[in-house]
Chains A and B, each alone.
Chain A
Amino acid sequence: MSEETGTVYTEAVIYSAAEAFAAEVPFQTAIVTLDSGGRVTGRILGERVSIDDRVSRVEIRDGVPFFKKVG
């Protein structure tokens, strides 16, 4: 898996989730503008992020990218 970094375009913290995610609340999702181009919706691990924060992709689970704040 190549290093993928980007910038948070927007984010939300979910408290009321669909059935499949109900056990995980609260969790944060974000749309990330990738340095390699394009945008992707992913999950945030660890510290909460805000718009313009720099993030790095730490893993992909079942096609979903998980990001962590860097710097």
Chain B
Amino acid sequence: MEAGEKCLANGHAAPSQVDAFFLGNFAGPSFAGQNHLAPYISTALGIHGVPATRVEAACASSGSAFYHAYTGVASGVYDIVLVVGAEKMTSQPTPKVTEILAGAGDCAGEVKAGSTFASLFAMIARRHMYQFGTTREHLAAVAVKNHANGALNPDAQMRKVITLQQAMAGKPIADPLNLYDCSLISDGAAAVLLAPVERAGEFTDKPVRVMGIAQASDFVALDQKPDITTFPAVRRASLKAYQMAGIGPADVQLAELHDCFTIAEIIALEDLGFVGRGEGGPYTAAGHTARTGERPINTSGGLKSKGHPVGATGAAQICDLVLQMRCEADARQVPRHSVGLAENLGGSGASCVVTILGTV
């Protein structure tokens, strides 16, 4: 609610100007017992009569909502579209949250065998370690870096700097992943207002343009994937987004990557073409993805420190990039911020949305 109201207010937009509403939400019915959430939230925001649609793609729900909102504006069906991502997770105890989240996996197979999302990514990490020599230190370096960023973000859930020793010594969750490799259980929301380029000036004097965007899909079950150390959906979506934007990985100056678990950020670096296969760990440990590095990653603190209200995450990534691109990121501001990329992953890679933003 607050996110939607703030977004409309920041854009000086009246609810009556909104032509369509898209909500990204993974499991509102399970977490909060409320279905039919899109009109529930849109009407609370004062938006009446227009299409209100909930989009579910696990943790990529609001990335996907944004993608569908974009296609609606780009096709000319709508002009002004409000995208809200929202999830309320903390009203349930952790084992229940774990169970609800596992519903994004293959419930007839891996989940029935006892898998959790942490354990699926632990299996991915184990294989990545085996094939490429990725280490526990590499994973911990992701957590340390993202906590350092999140500590500077007033909107982050866990504003706490951690040391490599702490990150290495967290209590085991799903070995080889420990507590510090896992993103947080969060309540949160984020909102984005989309308009055609020629009308953007009505709402802001600092518009940010969607240069490229694509969504891709893959198997839900991890055991159906030929190689679990790479996410084909990320590769496919990013190739299409790069092509649409007319740029390559080297042109991306900063990125918000889906670090649901530390290994996911390492693999995203590889799948997006920022580094070669197996190089994500050493690249992170060398400091290249730090705020002061050559390619800052997750200056928001990422899912790790900012928080991971799953259905809100994709929209939140867009918001964080926009802050940087408008030079409004205060202590977290990076000097090069004209091309930013958001990678929003669903499940263990069955959905992915890649969005490339540029200053107009």
Contact = CB atoms under 8 A, between A and B. Distances in A.
Interface of A: 9-22, 24, 26-27, 29-31, 39-43, 51, 62-65
B115 A41 contact: yes
Contacts of B112: 62-64
Given A12-B119, A13-B174, A40-B223, A18 B102 contact: yes
Given A17-B116, A42-B113, A51 B174 contact: no
Contacts of B114: 14, 17-18, 21, 24, 27, 29, 43, 64
A14 B223 contact: no
Given A14-B119, A41-B221, 17 more contacts: A10-B127, A10-B228, A14-B114, A14-B116, A15-B171, A15-B173, A16-B98, A16-B174, A17-B95, A18-B98, A18-B102, A22-B95, A29-B119, A40-B223, A51-B130, A63-B112, A64-B112
B257 interface: no
A13 B175 contact: yes
Contacts of A26: 172
Contacts of A29: 110, 113-115, 119, 123
Given A41-B109, A41-B222, A42-B113, A17 B171 contact: no
Name, among A22, A29, A39, the residue most crowded by chain B CB atoms within 10 Å (CB to CB).
A29
A7 B278 CA distance: 23
Interface residues of B, number: 36
Interface string B202-244: 0000000000000000000111100010000000000000000
A44 to B, nearest CB: 10
Contacts of A16: 94-95, 98, 116, 118, 173-174
Given A40-B109, A41-B110, A41-B115, A15 B126 contact: no
Contacts of B228: 9-10, 31
Contacts of A12: 119-120, 122-123, 126, 174-177
Given A29-B114, A40-B109, A41-B110, A20 B172 contact: no
Nearest to B126: A10
Nearest to B108: A63
